[in-house]
Amino acid sequence: MYRDARGYFAFPLIEEDLVLDDFDKWSIVGDLVGALKAGDLRAAPTVLELYDRDADWVRRGAYVKMIGDAAPDALVERIHSHLQTGLPVDYSWDFAELLFHWGRLDIVPTLARGWRAAYQYQDGPDIPPRLALLLEEESWGPLRTDFPRKVDEKQADAYVARVLARHAELVESLGEHAFVFRGRLLDLEWIARRGLQDLADGEFDSRMRRKFEAMTGIDCSCFYHKEKLQPLAAAAVFEAFLASPERKAFTPGRRYFFGHPIPPGDPAGASEWPPR
């Protein structure tokens, strides 16, 4: 599910995919993606169970994104609560990614504390860009750029303080349980308009494509070719969405997966997690 890949549109698998290592396991991924795309969110606990059992880091990354994008809120809330009380280290970075894709404001302090505890390690620099995409509108604002790359406790504390201050501002205006993206209430129509602006400014972030594609179910594979952004193709997708009456089907502040509203309730089987 890299930026140059077809993401959720890589499934179902086709005959030429038979050369894949662990084809059977990838077929399971494809079946789950198909169920979620069709609006059957009962598959979400199964995705979490497979994440626990699978040692392949590429598939684990795919599972994490699927849960963040499509799992009902109650399941992600359970994951969030366990992160706050302690989980094995091997969960921490993956689940930071999961919480980012979920995108509710109350996860920000958890991500900020997690970054502060381990910012000096290899994956530390991955967290600030995700916090920035949740909290600030600018493509390259201070939360994305102004954080310590080396051990500096004073700068690390200052960065966390800035994150929490911005978080408090948004909580005051939107509420603690608001879903946000780019420093405002999650809004697909706004994302499309902002995407056009970012393309024009030469500051487009591939995670804009991911968010838009996962929520709408619109194939955005044309955005990249051989790791290179295709601005005209990307702009055409955004413009077509904005010109379509379908844009009004998405209520600001609500989560969707492939056009399906995601319910808040707990799917059957979710209460059994974590297994260890």
Residue 125 corresponds to which tokens in the numbers above? 């620099």
Model pLDDT, residue 2: 43
CB-based contact 206:133 (threshold 8 Å): no
CA 241 to chain centre: 21
What does the alpha-carbon distance between residue 246 and residue 11 come to, in Å, rounded to a whole number?
24
Helices within 38-152 (DSSP H only):
44-53, 57-70, 73-85, 89-102, 108-118, 127-135, 142-145
Q: How many angstroms separate the Cα of 21 from the Cα of each of 62, 71, 113, 207?
A: 16, 27, 37, 27
Model pLDDT, residue 5: 67
Model pLDDT, residue 3: 41
Please, how many CA atoms are within 13 Å of residue 191, restricted to the half-sphere of its CB? 29
Model pLDDT, residue 49: 85
Who contacts 62 (Cβ-Cβ below 8 Å, separation ≥6)?
1, 29
CB-based contact 7:221 (threshold 8 Å): yes
Q: Is the peptide bond before 12 cis (omega within 30 degrees of 0)?
A: yes
Model pLDDT, residue 98: 92
Average pLDDT per block of 10 residues along the chain, 276 residues long: 64 62 84 90 83 87 92 89 67 84 96 85 83 94 90 93 98 97 98 98 94 96 91 98 96 97 72 52
Model pLDDT, residue 274: 53
Who contacts 258 (Cβ-Cβ below 8 Å, separation ≥6)?
8, 36, 37, 38, 39, 214, 215, 216, 217
Task: Write down the domain spans for the chain.
Answer: 187-253
